[in-house]
Amino acid sequence: MNADQNPKFNLRFVVNVLLKALVLFVILNLLFATFNPLPFLGKLSIYNWLVPGRARLPFGENPEAAYNLSLFNLNAMFAAHEIAGAHKAAEEYRVVLIGDSSVWGYWLTNEETLSANLNAAGLKTDGKRIVVYNLGYPTISLTKDLLLLDRALAYEPDLVVWLVTLESFPYEKQTFTPLVQQNPWQVQELIAEYGLNIDPTAPNFVTPTFWQHTIVGQRRQLADVLRLQLYGVPWAATGIDQDIPQYDDPADYQTRQEDFEADESFYDLTAPLTEQDVAFDVLAAGVGRAGDTPVLIINEPMFISAGENSDIRYNFFYPRWAYDDYRKLMTALSAENNWHYLDLWDAISPAEFTNSAIHLTPDGSTQLAELVAPAILEIARE
């Protein structure tokens, strides 16, 4: 019997191959954990060369229907966005929009968002085209906005337009969003630099162990970066990046809540609301981080109910006392700090809100752009 026919020889060969494969797998995992190439891998993207850059940051809960997904690799998110592939020409006045899902454009197509409407207006200043980029992102948190603003500055904006609402101010909302939780080092640097009243060791920050930095531990993050690339082709072919419900019967349309309990609570806060109660320090940090780049702060429009107990609550989010106090504080602090500030809280008809107190219809989005455009032009001409 020769060696090829010897079962022991064949078994030894298989065992040796498996052992070598196991050793190689362990080595690769240790190297991956040591050098953490995920940030670098996030920069490798088919967007802006093989397929166009996306008009808004990746976000989605139904990727098969919308060719989009939520991930937390900031490099991959920005590499997929059109701003990463847009060379800033001398004749461009660059504006970036920061904010929540209303800015991102929940239940709006790319052509119906605030940024798209502003670009469609063909705004110009001193011979320059005003080009607006949508860097809004769903979930409501000023710290999430600050994180994205910090990244946006690398793309040399001439103006930052930051849409906010009181719901983004409570301290417990600052580390509420997964985008903040999954990027603790960047957020902790901002906390330290600006002395923010946020616990840098908050338990909801996700700080992976060494073993969780291995390929096995990071397999979901690796898969998400890869899937974002794979979705690029069908997205480019269809333009579909959001699963917007279509209703045959208007009665089935999910609308914002109009009737409320007789409840005056807003988190654990009590009247009167003070500057120290909520995250005005994060807002100030954003303006400070922008440096010489002006920041236009907009108190975004919201739905105002006329339903049951609407004398107590404006909407699902806000009791009247808390929101009224917030508006007074915003006005006073903006004047005190010389912030560019525009209050549009009641500027859009209640009929132009969809499933939330801040999500606008296409007509509402157009109306908002018409109100924001003059403020952008005013700052651009200063």
Helix (H) or strand (E) holding 132: strand 128-134
Q: Is the pLDDT of residue 1 over 60?
A: no
Lowest mean pLDDT, pick from 65-69, 144-148, 252-256, 286-290 = 252-256
**Which of 53-57, 216-220, 327-331, 360-364 shows the lowest per-residue confidence on average (mean pLDDT)?**
216-220
Q: Is 70 exceeded by the pLDDT of residue 254?
A: no
In 10 A of CB 15, how many CB atoms?
10
Instruction: Determine the Cα angle at 287 with ends 283 and 288, to 5°.
Output: 110
Do residues 149 and 160 touch, judged by C-beta distance below 8 A?
yes
Tens-digit pLDDT profile for residues 185-211? 999 999 999 999 999 999 999 887 777
Domains parsed from the chain with CATH numbers: 56-61+73-203+254-380 (3.40.50.1110)
Q: pLDDT at residue 27 above 80?
A: no
Q: Which has more pLDDT, 65 or 257?
A: 257
Q: Cα separation of 293 and 288, whole Å?
A: 9
pLDDT digits (tens, 9 = 90+) for 120-170: 999 999 999 999 999 999 999 999 999 999 999 999 999 999 999 999 999
pTM, to two decimals? 0.91
